[in-house]
Chain A
Amino acid sequence: MHGMHRRDVLKLAGAAGVAATGPWWRVGRSQAQRAKKLVFWHLPNFTPLADQLQKEQVYEFAAKHAGLKESEVEYAVVAGEQANAKLAASIEAGNPPDVIRLYESNVQFYGAQGHLIDLTDQVNKMRREPKGIFESSMAAVLYKGRALGVPLAVNPWPVHARLDLLEQAKVEYPKTWDEFIEVSKKIQSPPRLFAFGMCLGLVEDTTDNVMNLLWCYGGKMVESDNKTVVMNSAANVAGVKTIEAMFKTHKIIPQGAISWDNSGNNKAYQSRQAAFVMNPSSIYAYLDSNDKDLQKRTGLFPVPAGPKGTVNQIDTWSYGAFKKNPYPDIAKGLIEYFMQPANYDRIIQSTGGRWVPVYKRLFDSPFWREKPEFKHFINMAETGVPVSYAGSPTAAAGEVLNTHVIPKMIQRVLVDNWEAAKALEECDKRINEIYARHNKA
């Protein structure tokens, strides 16, 4: 009996041990990251066609220009939300992708840490194209004078407006924010239809919407030295009070906006529950493929003017190449291939207006010229500013955006009923902490 025990134990332990280490046997068969010579992480574009085209371009480049076999290329699709998490994990583990599309603050964040390859030559080459590129895109990619990313799209944030409702009420698109409030009251029919689908949830879109309005009142977050935080200014107070009035007094913004995520305003507009929405043209592009009826009734306009005029927002997307890569030239080559105007234009057109081209000359194509909706775009792309205005989209600004400091401020006013000045003071303090931390490092 005792003997049986011991043998039993040994047998079992052996079996268990073998089973537990089983996975390691097959290690040899699994994908070893660096057998690949080109690793591209693709963030899904707006349309399946654009995705397809981009994939083709990757493999075309690999085969024809880099002389790579298909097995040496890794093309991975990472859904937008997870891209940040994956990228963070991969950098920590020491094997980031070779090429990936980066949002504004990502370029600055990883660039400042020295992870990105210097792509200034490529950008300069792009600038030498006839008519050049929108210089407004450079704010996102320049770090200490060098371009650490290649801008690939300059996305304005127009106001999507219901032309039919305006026509019905016999009013024009408002020129100023005061007019906007009056027009809103005329065209809305709550509770089913509110005029202004301003995003007020604890998400990035809120920062964009709120700051855009504050700029029109002369306010801003930080000065162009990227150090002096000026959130606590009279201009900002005026702007915040306007938002407060819109929400509480004039009631032109739906209550539900407080809990929206980034898709909330999209959905509101697409469901005809909001008449004015400030968003990149993803809504427009969606309508193009899915709801031509509403698309016909949609106009794209710059934001109304405040006491200090109209200021529009752009956000710039770029391609970045990570240094931790034994084949940097292949990575650079891929980006250059993507940005060749012919290749580039094909993708631009396949996104249905979601990507605004960074080459100015491409705006001359019929796709952009023939649509009245896009008539303001070129001006917006030229004069637009990033969300971190008047600073550039540094890592500090990225942290402010990603931790929703400004949405929390506006919710203090709208939910906790704080005074605008008090909320802005708290917000200013927070942002100062963040900038101080980043500037110290």
Chain B
Amino acid sequence: MLTSRAHNPRVALSAGQPDALREELLVRAPATARRPRHSATLRQEAWLAYGLLTPTLLVIVFLVAYPFASAIYLSLQDKMVGAPGRFVALDNYLDLLRDEVFLRTAWNSVLYTAVAIALKFALGLTMALVLDQERRVNNFFRTLLFVPWAVPVVIVALNWRWIFDDLSGLLNNFLITFHLTSDIISWLSDPRLAMGCVIAVVVWSGTPFYSMTFLAGLQAIPKELYEAAEIDGASVVQQFFFVTVPRLRTIFLTTVMLSTIWTATNLQFVLILTRGGPASRTEIFPHLAYTTALGARRLGMGAAVSLVFFPLLVVLIIVLTRRMLRQADE
């Protein structure tokens, strides 16, 4: 199977080129040169592609792009619910940038998203690695760890609010019953603790997404790769970095990207747990947008608040996907 030393996967592995291994292991398949790319084939490919993408594109155009465009247009208007709008170009955005609340909300939003994503990633990867281990009734454990995702976000938030409750909550009563604290801790009322509590709930709720997608990716890695690496003397940690991580790169990117967007735009947790308090410590853009659009009924301004981070997120997406799309072009 192995043709020459130069093609020896172990050599390639120790040289730190993970992709080489992938290629080599499939040497059984006839070596095919890159397919000739003449125009007829390309055109057919294009037609096929468009055909396959038709339903997705229809959904995107009518159910996403149109409402999205409508939201952008809305953000350029001074519009209240029920009244006609008046075009004001970027006035909403300018007003927002001048508002002292803006900086605080921006900082909170970035902190909240970054910390939550980092924790979810770490916890999710740990869970996936643990679940990937062989053990009896693993299926059962996997299902149990899936539980947070099975419960509607609204209920998760309400439940945790109850857990954090000063007097009737699980946390305080547990701590007091077991003499771990003597005083009641006001979890959601303490300006130093509130953000951490909200992030904890976000992490609890969102980790299964990471763990399950990573797990699926892990399960697709052939055992043989690890065996080969082990034979070569790679330690467990090295195996992780040279076999596991490269294979999961795309999945990492995909998951983190989706999750970043969801986390950054989710308002349910803040809405139910703290409503942006105490004293704006947990105010984030989606929540501000909600109170503006539906509380104050200022749709134009509400749209502007939700879209103010849009350029930043688009740049992020372009940068991250460039890598992914380029890989596929190889």
A interface residue numbers (CB < 8 A to B) = 2, 5-6, 8-10, 12-13, 16-17, 19-21, 84-85, 88, 91-92, 109-110, 113, 115, 191-192, 201-203, 254-259, 261, 267-268, 271, 273, 399, 402-404, 407-408, 411-412, 415-416, 434, 441
Contacts and interface: CB of A to CB of B under 8 A. Distances in A.
A254 B275 contact: no
Contact of B183 (A109, A191, A261, A407): A191
A92 B277 contact: no
30 contacts: A2-B44, A8-B48, A9-B51, A12-B51, A13-B51, A13-B54, A17-B55, A17-B58, A20-B54, A20-B55, A20-B58, A191-B183, A255-B186, A256-B167, A256-B188, A258-B278, A259-B273, A267-B168, A268-B167, A273-B167, A399-B295, A402-B296, A403-B291, A404-B275, A407-B277, A411-B277, A412-B279, A415-B277, A415-B278, A416-B279
Nearest to A19: B55
Given A19-B55, A256-B189, A404-B275, 17 more contacts: A8-B48, A9-B48, A9-B51, A9-B52, A16-B54, A20-B58, A20-B59, A91-B82, A110-B82, A202-B274, A256-B184, A258-B278, A259-B188, A259-B274, A403-B296, A404-B291, A416-B191
B174 interface: no
B186 A259 contact: yes
Contacts of A404: 275, 291, 295
B276 interface: yes
A13 B80 CA distance: 42
Interface string B36-60: 0000000010011011101100110
Contacts, number: 125
Contacts of A192: 167
B297 A399 contact: yes
Interface of B: 44, 47-48, 50-52, 54-55, 58-59, 80-83, 165-168, 183-184, 186, 188-191, 194, 272-280, 291-292, 294-297, 299
A415 B168 CA distance: 23
Contacts of A411: 277-279
Given A258-B277, A259-B278, A412-B279, A271 B296 contact: no
Given A88-B297, A256-B189, A201 B277 contact: yes
Given A261-B275, A399-B296, A411-B278, A255 B291 contact: no
Contacts of B54: 13, 16-17, 20
Contacts of A5: 44, 48
B294 A88 contact: yes
Given A254-B166, A259-B186, A408 B82 contact: no
Contact of B294 (A16, A84, A202, A412): A84
Contacts of B80: 113, 441
Contacts of B189: 255-259
B82 A92 contact: yes
Nearest to B40: A2
A399 B302 CA distance: 13
A255 B297 contact: no
B168 A271 contact: yes
Contacts of A259: 186, 188-189, 194, 273-274, 277-278
A404 B275 CA distance: 10
B166 A256 contact: yes
With a 10 A CB-CB cut-off, give which of B54, B81, B83, B279 has the most chain A CB atoms: B279
A399 B292 CA distance: 9
Nearest to A91: B82
B303 to A, nearest CB: 12
Contact of B166 (A6, A13, A255): A255
Contacts of B186: 255-256, 258-259
Closest 4 CB pairs of A and B: A256-B166, A402-B295, A258-B189, A259-B188
Contacts of B59: 20
A84 B167 CA distance: 32
A416 B47 CA distance: 62
A8 B47 CA distance: 11
Contacts of B194: 259
B301 to A, nearest CB: 10
A402 B51 CA distance: 48
Contact of A191 (B167, B292, B294): B167
Contacts of A91: 81-82
Contact of A415 (B48, B279, B297): B279
A296 to B, nearest CB: 23
With a 10 A CB-CB cut-off, give which of B58, B59, B81 has the most chain A CB atoms: B81
A202 B191 CA distance: 14
Nearest to B292: A403
Contact of B83 (A10, A113, A408, A415): A113
Nearest to A193: B167
A433 B166 CA distance: 36
Nearest to A401: B295
B32 to A, nearest CB: 16
Given A110-B82, A255-B166, A259-B189, A408 B55 contact: no
A108 to B, nearest CB: 12
A415 B188 CA distance: 12
Contacts of B58: 17, 20-21
